[in-house]
Amino acid sequence: MRVRYTTGKDGKARKHAVIYEAHEHGIQPQLIDEDAVKIVRRLQQHGHPAYIVGGAVRDLLLGKAPKDFDIVTDAQPNRIRKLFRNSRIIGKRFRLVHIFFGNKIIEVSTFRSAEAEGFNNVYGNIEEDALRRDFGVNALYYCPLEQEILDFVHGFKDFRAKRIRPIISVERIFREDPVRMLRAVKYSVGTGFRVVLPLKLRMRKQAKLLADCPASRLSEEVFKILGSGRSHSVMRACRQYHLLEHMLPSFAETLLHGGHVAEQRFFALLEELDAQVASERGADRALALAFLCADYLFRASPYVEDTTIPFKDAYQSLKDQLKPVTPANIEVEKALQHLLRRRKRYLSEGPVALRLKTDSIDTKNRKARTAPGPSKQVRDDARKPSSEGEAAPVAEDAQTQSTTRTASSRRRRRRRRQKNTEQHE
């Protein structure tokens, strides 16, 4: 362990950051995305310090390959945009840069100032940026070129102690951003780390702040939970902290009135969703909504006794049930279609009926319907019995057919010209 010092306002040296080297943190370089390393290298080659930060560093310390890599630097968005042609600046309240590698996106942001309020574009240095982050385990900066971790807030100690500790004071942390409550739960479940007692008490006390969170941000967090592969455990923890009643109030009410049986079925659906996410086929947002809403639609909605569920009315019912979460209309439609196709199976087999199988009949039928085939005339010809032992005719390829039509047209024109000449004579 090395210590980096800087000069304070009084002119004296003060501790600036702790540096942990490869043999101390044990991060495996092969787990790091090569494109993330390329971005860091190019920024540093052009004179800009750059680091992998946040959840990616936490996952690397746990020995996991991160799904996403976030990078921070002192370069401002316009400068980053000039260095990477495959990039785009996004955001208004705080501008970020997305760098594209095929379908993959790596997000690059500029160090934020400690004086910035909300999401305003006020830039600062790396130490200020660290002090603005939510929890110690998310405020570690990793340089993949030097294989060093920079720690400004004792985040590495938090990691070793397996605790979720806030950097911002508990009085401010959730008032500034209520979504941090959901993140604390997610990080705790994902890592197995404990939430420190002051933070735990504050979450229970301020859970109602989540109701004032913008619907778009809340929706994004809910979908992250559903697609995490740990939705069952995260939702249970959210219920313990009284977050579920503000995140998905209609579902919380259904669980309250439905008792133990409703709770059992709800969490059984989430367990099946987690298994689907971990499977080869995975789960998109529409399928995640289907798992979330299945028991409501078939056991608690106004259409439980209906032989045929009216699609339009059921669609609106699901939209109302999900509030304040606001998924795209097409996602709700697809979720409802999936549920209606599996209604009988769900009622007899339970949550497993909603799973997608790799070799499902639906997939085979879809492939058969979309596969290119011969024209009707060719199919009819192919069915005709051949005479004199000859093989049935097959379709000519497009080039041969085109050549045949052109030659035939030329012969017709030649015969017409010859006939006109004879008549003239």
296 secondary structure, DSSP code = I
Kindly state the tokens that stand for 181.
């409550």
DSSP code of 9? T
List, in sequence order, the alpha helices (H) in 279-308.
285-295
Catalytic center residues: 68, 70, 134
Q: How far apart are CA 280 and CA 369, in angstroms?
A: 23
Long-range contacts from 295-302, C-beta under 8 angstroms, 24+ separation: 295/262, 295/265, 295/266, 295/269, 296/250, 296/251, 296/254, 296/321, 297/336, 297/339, 298/339, 298/343, 298/346, 298/347, 299/262, 299/265, 300/254, 300/258, 300/262
- What is the C-alpha to C-alpha distance for residues 163 and 225, in angstroms, rounded to an integer? 20
Per DSSP, what are the bridge partners of residue 123? Answer: 112
Contact 350, 268 (CB under 8 A): yes
Tell me how far apart the alpha carbons of residues 227 and 215 are, in angstroms, rounded to a whole number: 18
Spell out the residues 6+ positions from residue 282 whose beta carbon is closer than 8 angstroms to its own.
276
CB distance 40 to 145 below 8 Å: yes
Q: What is the DSSP string of 175-215?
A: HH-TTHHHHHHHHHHHH-PEEPHHHHHHHHHSGGGGGGS-H
